[in-house]
Chains A and B, each alone.
Chain A
């Protein structure tokens, strides 16, 4: 109880930057590159992932600019094919999959558990370096002939050494290595959540972000090895001519698609589940209102994780798989719609009778609800067999998965960065700049991808470098709208980068709890000390915000003086969790 009091007074009397925090704890380059501190690793991931996001974004803008005119504006066919391949591969493997779990998850997860670190800090650092090695292999692919297979590496094009470019094997190696980074991160988080939860935090008292990270980790650990071994088979076929997927060698190209999507469909949920976790936090905290239907949201994460393994065939409705299999996959696919819909309704209900702050994280949260609704609803057109045959491999699919992967997963990530920025950096960003940039991103996003739904349903195929000489003449109209949208969005991201960077230098010092969150990360100083907590904190209902009140002096939220703090349970085992 003694330490408890210390923590409490610590909270109340330290509004300024704590001198000894994880950023200042040790100095020098080596203290960063050899660090075992989950917070520093999370920050390194964040910087790296955002760097890759910039690269992927540049390729996206090249692609959009090319498509302004039917005959193409700036690239030859070959260059365009490389641009869209690299855009996809970078965004999927280097950005979205590691984005939330590896950067924000790494930073927040142990603190939310009141732990000092993840269960295996060395493995955590190793994951990061695997990511770096994977990224380097992608760079190597660029210098060994380039990569033009599309991010899906479909056979036999990818094994055909005559046509597919020379960078295929380095790129496959990159994805293989990145897969291990993902597996290790997932395993680490699973063990951490199982073993290091503080006393009093039962499974159903965990912040929902942890539920979604846990569900994600299960997919990462179970699905990624399948991708790994598939890519090894592909490398073996390409390098040594052993027939596995190439019919010329006695293989089966459709088998590759089954293997690939057995991972890559669950991978979609590796992307969206952590984003849903972030949204659960954003909506609850910034509505200052208890999350509605905690258990339904938690279970729907688990349900999505389970269903995600059973629907890979919906990427292959026109591949030539049998009609029976196709019908079964369609049926199971619709079952994923239910838990997703449940989450949206629960988030909406959370806002009911809330006290909603219109700050940047909440705007990203509300934007997510709108965008994810469109992304989810257009999934109906694609899960439905009769319409999918028409829409498959057109821009309708491109628009749909950008609504889910970019508009939902990535924008939730950006929202999460804003939400935890004060905690990570100890600085507040400029709120008005944030709102303005969000507006640009939100409008730009919808302009870019809404138009692609019409483009696709009118018949425009994906991955076309040019669209001249066609009977159809309305494609350019939508392409121009889409490209304009992408420029607006790029401007929004550019402004976001600027004000976030500026905040590091002249941002207001962040209080311990700027938003009024109740999960444990809002109880240690901003930025957190090296050890997070000097004593494992006690846990209450992390969505009961009535115990907090605004303090003018702190410019943040503090515990209400008239409400007692949760008691630590007396029978707490002394060592578990304190690591």
Chain B
């Protein structure tokens, strides 16, 4: 009954307020679209509290304004009568007890909803989530698939995020599901939901985590079970079957979003060095590190890195080993998040970046990468790439 009245009031309010729709999305004046099994209960509790708030606020305001006007001091009043009671124990006990009963009811409702949010069903589909500055990575153990910046989840089936952080505190928040849970380094936290509507929903980081906190976003795509399985199958194998010359484009399209918050494509200095011209700098060995060493003294037969590719691979897997001068060394390791062939794809992307994006870092429509197969010069040692790809594949199989 209460929630019926609330909804009446809300829809009246909502019809004159922005952001309200009547498309059955569950969006109201107060709440965003709702798309999980838990959301309706949370919304009902919210509405119930709102009704109590409206009643008290309206009553208090009316009394306040009425008293202020009714008992306004009259002009010329020189002394004051001692009218009105100084205290009244029954009255004061009443307005102590009534709020007390109300809050007990509110507390109980909130507790019931909360315990439901904390207790995940045993048959939940599990996704391992790693948060790091400033991106989200999602692992599907069941399909050996890793996604970054977006995640596919099945419709109508409980999904559980098993989350940890690689660096500082983060928090995973999906408003449409009404769920939120901090992601803490050094421990695992859980969050579960069951999506009720296919679609794409925003996921936010809601625990302040530094410079690009406001860009630490991701999308949750809710897919019907069969579409979900098909999508997973495609993700699991797509880069394995790609020919060599498609790998850079694959990396730019599917992998670069992990790097984008720190490494630009247009040459601008962000948190890390730009990818523009990175390959040339690496080959020439111009890069200087915080320990004073120059890259040229580290690359070559018998030195720390045999080839420039070895250096780049190491920078992805062990970024704290060598930190480029003038940068803070903020990069987390991607060990275990990227398969060897994906690392190869990223290195190839850096190598041929100038053919895939223009000066402003905007992708070129149909880049000409055919010569990759030919191996026409010293700049593209197809052998190296091939070897790496080969080891990568064997490692993948081992995992």
A residues near B, CB below 8 A?
77-78, 81, 148-150, 154-157, 160, 162-164, 247-248, 252-254, 287-296, 317-320, 323, 326-327, 330-331, 334-335, 337-338, 341-342, 344-346, 348-349, 351-358, 366, 369-370, 373-374, 377-378, 380-381, 383-390, 392-394, 454, 457-459, 461-467, 469-472, 474, 477, 516, 544-546, 548-550, 560
Contact = CB atoms under 8 A, between A and B. Distances in A.
Interface in B80-116: 80-88, 91-92, 95-96, 99-100, 103-104, 106-107, 109-116
A83 to B, nearest CB: 13
A156 B86 contact: no
B267 interface: no
Contact of B328 (A163, A296, A548): A163
Given A157-B209, A461-B173, A474-B19, A345 B95 contact: yes
B29 interface: yes
A393 B213 CA distance: 13
Interface stretch (B182-190, B239-247, B278-286, B383-391): B182-190
A576 to B, nearest CB: 30
B219 interface: yes
Interface in B185-211: 185-187, 189, 200-202, 204-211
Interface size class of chain B, counting residues whose CB lies under 8 Å from the partner chain? 35 or more
Contact of A287 (B32, B71, B213): B71
A356 B72 contact: yes
B56 A373 contact: yes
Contact of B81 (A394, A466, A546): A546
Contacts of B173: 393-394, 459, 461
A326 B67 contact: no
Contacts of A516: 80
A472 B112 contact: no
Given A318-B171, A386-B112, A545-B80, A471 B30 contact: no
A159 to B, nearest CB: 9
Nearest to A380: B49
A290 B67 CA distance: 15
B28 to A, nearest CB: 9
Given A354-B67, A461-B205, A253 B87 contact: no
B114 A156 contact: no
A156 B185 contact: yes
Contacts of B212: 77
Nearest to A339: B96
B242 to A, nearest CB: 28
Among all A-B residue pairs, the 9 with the closest Cβ atoms: A247-B186, A386-B113, A459-B175, A385-B114, A384-B110, A353-B84, A464-B214, A474-B19, A549-B79
B31 interface: yes
B204 A356 contact: no
Nearest to A322: B118
Contacts of B175: 390, 458-459, 472
A457 B287 CA distance: 48
Contact of A356 (B67, B81, B84, B87): B67
B143 interface: no
A288 B53 contact: no
B213 to A, nearest CB: 6
Contacts of A327: 111, 114-115
Nearest to B174: A459
Contacts of A354: 67, 71, 84
B117 interface: yes
B341 interface: no
Given A384-B110, A387-B42, A388-B110, A296 B87 contact: yes
B329 interface: yes
Given A296-B92, A370-B61, 4 more contacts: A253-B186, A294-B87, A380-B52, A466-B214
B182 A252 contact: no
Given A163-B210, A290-B86, A330 B56 contact: no
B354 interface: no
A471 B64 contact: no
Given A247-B187, A457-B30, A380 B103 contact: yes
A349 B88 CA distance: 10
Contacts of A248: 185-186
B45 interface: yes
Given A378-B53, A385-B113, A461-B204, A148 B83 contact: no
B207 to A, nearest CB: 6
Contacts of B86: 290-294
A348 B85 contact: no
A388 B46 CA distance: 9
Provide the main secondary structure of the chain B interface: mixed
A163 B79 CA distance: 65
Contact of A334 (B77, B103, B211): B103
Contact of A353 (B61, B83, B117, B208): B83
Nearest to B114: A385
Contact of B208 (A458, A462, A472): A462
B330 interface: yes
A271 to B, nearest CB: 22
B168 A160 contact: yes
Contacts of A351: 64, 67-68, 71
Contacts of B362: none
B1 interface: no
Contact of B213 (A164, A253, A464, A548): A464
Contact of B167 (A156, A296, A546): A156
Contacts of A383: 103, 106-107, 110
Contacts of B114: 317, 323, 326-327, 330, 385-386, 389
Contacts of B82: 290, 544-546
B95 A341 contact: yes
Contacts of A160: 167-168
B78 interface: yes
B101 to A, nearest CB: 10
A81 B29 contact: no
A292 B207 CA distance: 44
A390 B214 contact: no
Nearest to A160: B168
A357 B117 CA distance: 51
Contacts of A344: 60
Contacts of A296: 87, 92, 96
A335 B99 CA distance: 10
A78 B270 CA distance: 11
A436 B69 CA distance: 18
Interface string B1-24: 000000000000000001100000
A349 B91 contact: yes
B179 interface: yes
A373 B57 contact: yes
A355 B71 contact: yes
A454 B29 contact: yes
Contacts of A370: 60-61, 64
A163 B68 contact: no
A474 B18 contact: yes
10 contacts: A77-B212, A156-B169, A253-B185, A287-B71, A293-B86, A334-B106, A345-B95, A356-B71, A378-B53, A384-B109
A462 to B, nearest CB: 7
Nearest to B331: A162
A549 B117 CA distance: 62
Given A164-B210, A356-B68, A389 B328 contact: no
B303 interface: no
A387 B46 contact: yes
B63 interface: yes
B71 A353 contact: yes
Contacts of A550: 77-79
Contacts of B181: 318, 320
Given A352-B67, A466-B215, A386 B73 contact: no
B95 A254 contact: no
A390 B180 contact: yes
Contacts of B46: 381, 387, 390, 457
B178 interface: yes
B322 interface: no
